[in-house]
A and B are shown apart, each in its own frame.
Chain A
Amino acid sequence: QSVLTQPPSVSGAPGQRVTISCTGSSSNIGAGHDVHWYRQLPGTAPKLLIYRNTNRPSGVPDRFSGSKSGTSASLAITGLQAEDEADYYCQSYDSSLWVFGGGTKLTVL
């Protein structure tokens, strides 16, 4: 049972928009701690996608965006592409623990 809750799976057709939620509590996201997002392609290490809730590292397309409100955060992907099919994880901080969501598998139909 992860401290941060993500839907196990989401799907969308090429070109569509999908969102992935990350629900926490008053001790992590709700306490004001930042949320970061990672993408993990099959058989590879995770890669930073969004940091500090809304910021994209250099090289990450603006199709990816993040938001945060209250005890939750979301990752949005627009203009869905086949190569976006991967696992996505949110991460935050909670009382001297660094916590990840359980991960969401994105399937591009």
Chain B
Amino acid sequence: EVQLVESGGGLVQPGGSLRLSCAASGFIFSSYWMTWVRQAPGKGLEWVANINQDKSQIYYVDSVKGRFTISRDNAKNSLYLQMNSLRAEDTAVYYCARFGKNNWEIDYWGQGTLVSVSS
């Protein structure tokens, strides 16, 4: 059974940093593109970042470029999101998710971890 379990969320002050982790199991982690998607309270889904299998292709939404860094450790079956210079508008539930093998569909999602940026 595919499982994605996020951790690392919490309350942080504006300008602070946080590192999210996602532990993957039930599939060959190194064979899949992975992604982070966020959802602000009461709002819709927003794609944040992608990383391919060997870390040679990485993409970010413009609003997080230069502040967030997506990474992965295939030996540990883990995905990460380092978030620096956090802003109030980064407050959201962050989902770790897997891209399927068809054409950029997200076939599995974690349960999400809440990041709150507030003073």
* Interface, chain A (partner B; CB < 8 A): 2, 33-34, 36, 38, 40, 44-48, 51-52, 55, 57, 87, 89, 91-93, 96-103
Judged by a CB distance under 8 angstroms, whether B59 is at the interface is: yes
Q: Are A52 and B106 in contact (CB under 8 A)?
A: no
Stretch at the interface among B14-22, B66-74, B76-84, B96-104: B96-104
The residue in chain B whose Cβ has the minimal distance to the Cβ of A55 is: B102
Known A-B contacts: A34-B102, A36-B104, A93-B104. Give 17 more (CB < 8 A): A33-B104, A44-B111, A47-B109, A48-B106, A48-B107, A51-B107, A52-B105, A89-B44, A91-B106, A96-B59, A97-B59, A98-B47, A100-B44, A100-B45, A101-B44, A102-B44, A103-B44
Q: How far is the CA of A72 from the CA of B105 in the complex (A)?
A: 17
Pick the contact of A34 from B45, B59, B103, B109 — CB < 8 Å? B103
Q: Are A97 and B61 in contact (CB under 8 A)?
A: yes
* Interface, chain B (partner A; CB < 8 A): 35, 37, 44-47, 50, 59, 61, 95, 100, 102-112
Secondary structure of the A side of the interface?
A: strand
Query: In the complex, how many angstroms separate the beta carbon of B56 from the nearest chain A beta carbon?
Result: 15
Q: Are A48 and B45 in contact (CB under 8 A)?
A: no
Q: How far is the CA of A93 from the CA of B45 in the complex (A)?
A: 14
A-B contact pairs, 10 of them (CB 8 A): A2-B44, A34-B103, A34-B104, A48-B107, A51-B107, A91-B106, A92-B104, A97-B47, A98-B50, A100-B37
Query: In the complex, how many angstroms separate the beta carbon of B24 from the nearest chain A beta carbon?
Result: 15
- Chain A residue numbers with a CB within 8 Å of B100 are 48, 51
- Chain B residue numbers with a CB within 8 Å of A2 are 44
Q: Are A46 and B109 in contact (CB under 8 A)?
A: yes
Given contact pairs A51-B100, A98-B47, A45 touches B105 in the complex (Cβ within 8 A) = no
